[in-house]
């Protein structure tokens, strides 16, 4: 089989998951890298034995040797870079979120269709073992019709600052950064119903709490305690055309005892918790039963999920198979995220026709 020559654009924290997963794939040649900060790109090129460190971005898109790119840059460049890569005939794996807003997302979708190239969105939780196991039970009808889902990703203190805290570059705070993952995984497992209406709130009450002492949390390379323009809490109720609904809340900081993540789905025949640990709930012989699958990874298995995501992207590029995280799902997710921000700013429900 021909090998896939891949370039990685943006060589910060998450790029390592892309590099190491590509490096383990027998049908991939890690071909080139680019970052605004050249030293960062050179460091990765050396670490992973990558031959080309590009001077300019457009050289990647014009290079006929390059088959595909991973985009691991700040959110504000995702759409622009994805479109340029697609126009250059490259397949694209773009980190979440697909774009800053719905309009950009639609442009990316058009570019993918026009150039007949794959665009896979980095919805890495779709590729996790616990998700795959639960999806197989859902596809078998074990939960019946899923009519309610509840997702929460609460950080007690965890605004990473830097570009994450700069709305211009990130598009928003915990909603677009963390909410995208938990909303997407619920929506995907609910069978991707069409969104009908959205109510939501965002709060800027606590700031980034840079004053807090004696408690460590992840900080971006360009952390500046004086800069923060994103919300610290968001919640929303999303209603779908089939009558199902999803309630979500996410925070970068909140006066709460500890961090908390949960993803729960409720159906007519059974329920499930995907996070913090996969468990299914059912009823048999007039008795409620909890089903505990015996698998290696009951929670989100970060490295394994990334490897699965990259393996799947490579497979789709080389064979033309369809991705399980296609561009149209990225567009729908931007519709939901943009809708929540809109409902919050207008202080009223947003209804889609």
Ligand X SMILES: NC(=O)c1ccc[n+]([C@@H]2O[C@H](COP(=O)([O-])OP(=O)(O)OC[C@H]3O[C@@H](n4cnc5c(N)ncnc54)[C@H](O)[C@@H]3O)[C@@H](O)[C@H]2O)c1
The residues that touch ligand X, with contacts defined as CB under 6 A, are 9-15, 34-37, 40, 72-75, 77, 95-96, 122, 124, 163, 177, 220-221
Closer residue to ligand X (CB): 19 or 34: 34
Closer residue to ligand X (CB): 122 or 174: 122
* Shortest distance, position 224 Cβ to ligand X, whole Å: 13
Closer residue to ligand X (CB): 102 or 350: 102
Round to whole Å and give the CA distance between 18 and 334: 23
* Shortest distance, position 12 Cβ to ligand X, whole Å: 2
Closer residue to ligand X (CB): 13 or 136: 13
Contact between 173 and 251 (Cβ < 8 Å):
no
Closer residue to ligand X (CB): 146 or 248: 248
Q: In what order do the strands lie in the sheet with 195-203?
A: 287-291, 279-284, 271-275, 260-267, 146-154, 245-251, 233-240, 195-203, 350-351
Contact between 325 and 123 (Cβ < 8 Å):
yes
User: Which residue is nearest to ligand X, using beta carbons?
Assistant: 12
Contact between 94 and 83 (Cβ < 8 Å):
no
Joined together, the tokens standing for residue 169 give: 């570059």
* Helical residues (DSSP H) of 154-296, grouped into ranges: 167-170, 174, 180-189
* Shortest distance, position 314 Cβ to ligand X, whole Å: 17
* Shortest distance, position 233 Cβ to ligand X, whole Å: 19
Rg (CA), the chain: 20
Joined together, the tokens standing for residue 270 give: 């059974």
Closer residue to ligand X (CB): 34 or 341: 34
Element (H, E) at 268: none
Closer residue to ligand X (CB): 84 or 133: 84
Closer residue to ligand X (CB): 164 or 240: 164
Round to whole Å and give the CA distance between 245 and 187: 10
Closer residue to ligand X (CB): 122 or 270: 122
Joined together, the tokens standing for residue 228 give: 């923060």
> Could you give the 3-state DSSP secondary structure of residue 267?
strand
Round to whole Å and give the CA distance between 260 and 320: 39
**To which residue do tokens 């999803």 refer?**
246
* Shortest distance, position 22 Cβ to ligand X, whole Å: 15
* Shortest distance, position 239 Cβ to ligand X, whole Å: 27
Round to whole Å and give the CA distance between 123 and 120: 8
* Shortest distance, position 330 Cβ to ligand X, whole Å: 12
* Shortest distance, position 346 Cβ to ligand X, whole Å: 26
Contact between 8 and 44 (Cβ < 8 Å):
yes
* Shortest distance, position 155 Cβ to ligand X, whole Å: 14
> Could you give the 3-state DSSP secondary structure of residue 342?
helix
* Beta-bridge partners for 68: 6, 91
């Amino acid at each position: 089989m021909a090998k896939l020559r891949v370039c990685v654009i943006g060589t910060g924290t998450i790029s390592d998951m892309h590099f190491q997963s590509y490096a383990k794939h027998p049908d991939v040649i890690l071909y080139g890298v680019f970052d605004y900060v050249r030293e960062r790109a050179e460091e990765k090129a050396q670490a992973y034995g990558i031959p080309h460190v590009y001077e300019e971005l457009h050289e990647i898109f014009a290079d006929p040797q390059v088959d595909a790119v991973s985009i691991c840059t700040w959110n504000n460049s995702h759409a622009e870079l994805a479109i340029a890569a697609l126009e250059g005939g490259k397949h694209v794996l773009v980190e979440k979120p697909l774009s800053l807003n719905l309009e950009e997302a639609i442009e990316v979708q058009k570019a993918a269709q026009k150039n007949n190239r794959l665009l896979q969105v980095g919805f890495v939780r779709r590729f996790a073992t616990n998700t795959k196991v639960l999806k197989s039970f859902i596809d078998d009808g074990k939960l019946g019709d899923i009519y309610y889902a509840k997702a929460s990703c609460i950080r007690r203190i965890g605004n990473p600052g830097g570009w994450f805290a700069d709305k211009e570059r990130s598009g928003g705070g915990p909603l677009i950064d963390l909410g995208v993952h938990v909303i997407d995984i619920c929506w995907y497992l609910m069978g991707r119903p069409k969104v009908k209406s959205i109510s939501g709130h965002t709060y800027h009450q606590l700031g980034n709490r840079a004053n807090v002492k004696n408690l460590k949390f992840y900080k971006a390379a360009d952390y500046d305690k004086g800069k923060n323009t994103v919300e610290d809490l968001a919640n929303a109720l999303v209603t779908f055309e089939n009558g199902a609904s999803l309630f979500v809340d996410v925070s970068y900081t909140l006066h709460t005892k500890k961090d908390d993540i949960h993803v729960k789905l409720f159906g007519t025949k059974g329920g499930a918790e995907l996070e913090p640990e996969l468990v299914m709930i059912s009823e048999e012989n007039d008795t409620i039963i909890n089903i505990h699958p015996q698998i290696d990874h009951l929670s989100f298995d970060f490295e394994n999920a990334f490897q699965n995501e990259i393996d799947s992207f490579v497979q789709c590029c080389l064979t033309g198979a369809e991705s399980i995280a296609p561009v149209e799902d990225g567009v729908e997710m931007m519709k939901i995220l943009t809708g929540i921000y809109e409902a919050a700013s207008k202080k009223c429900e947003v209804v889609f026709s």
